[in-house]
Amino acid sequence: MQKRKLGNSGLEVSALGFGCMGLNFLDGKGLDKKEAITLLRNAVERGITFFDTAEAYGPYTNEELVGEGLQPYRKDVVIATKFGCKDARPTTGLDSRPETIRAVTEASLKRLKTDYIDLLYQHRVDPNVPIEDVAGTVKDLIQEGKVKYFGLSEASATTIRRAHAIQPVSALQSEYSLFWREPENEIIPTLEELGIGFVPFSPLGKGFLTGTINSKLADVDRRNVIPRFSEENIKANLVLVDALSEIANQKNVTTGQLALAWILAQKPWIAPIPGTTKLHRLEENIGSTNIVLTTDELAQINATVNGITLVGERYPEVLEKQIDRS
């Protein structure tokens, strides 16, 4: 698989990463341990070197899974994890105090079965802790050799600049897809200016852009708490998937592949991290890295999406309040 450098930091990853959260922490039913480890190792064997987890996924169990699954390949892969959720639970609140960052890092190292974390993100910006203190703490961890690179997640342009002035930010992780394009307004220009890589999570719109969701979700599906995935909003937003499906059919690719290829075509320093629990979906996602979209095709996709108004917030209220709007 092609490699990409995340901005000017020198951190090189596979063009497509793997979001590990869903292996055991999404959609109601994850894989058993053996199946999840097999899928992780299949991803490595197919060229993926970039894996994303967090203490909050589980909590804790996802890091343990990733640590065991990737241990045989440790020197060949980039593992990203995160701190910043109080008691490792996003709905409980935020906690990025320096002492918490240190404690979480030590615990993550043990669960990941490693002596260093390649990319350590602040999961969400904590309004009660100056971002300079956060960046300074991670800077110390980098100097100690416990962390290699510093990242932020869902941070505003102002916060990114303040953090970057203390410790260079290697990557920003935020939601970005044909289902959510807000980062184009201010975030992507800021990243380009500062030489910071972009790691879009949910590049398939939490599965919506695959075209496999066309009615009410199962009761156990965690996406039920997301307003965009109410039965009413799913029906209203299907116009987007239908339009993209037509373009994908013309290109002889799947709708999901089209969506990923579109992201990859935006900037050479963008590395999306779709997740899956199925081998055939993993292979389908990887296939997107070989799709070349022409200037005309990109213009067609953009014009199509720009002509559609999507409905529904992307987070439930308790998580929407955690978004950094400084």
Extended beta strands in the chain, E state? 3-5, 12-14, 18-19, 50-52, 78-83, 117-122, 147-153, 169-175, 197-201
* DSSP 8-state secondary structure symbol assigned to residue 58: T
Cα(260)–Cα(77) distance, integer angstroms: 21
Determine how β-strand 3-5 pairs with β-strand 12-14: antiparallel
Pair of tokens at residue 176:
């970005």
Cα(318)–Cα(308) distance, integer angstroms: 27
The residues that are catalytic are: 57
* CA nearest neighbour of 36 among 52, 23, 21, 51: 23
* CA nearest neighbour of 43 among 64, 21, 63, 16: 16
* CA nearest neighbour of 49 among 83, 85, 12, 90: 12
DSSP symbols for 249-296? HHHTS-HHHHHHHHHHHH-TTB------S-HHHHHHHHHGGG----HH
| Residue positions counted in the chain | 326
List for the chain the helix, strand, coil content (%; round to 5): 45, 15, 40
Cα(252)–Cα(23) distance, integer angstroms: 29
CB contact at 8 A, 170 and 150: yes
Beta-bridge mates of residue 4: 13
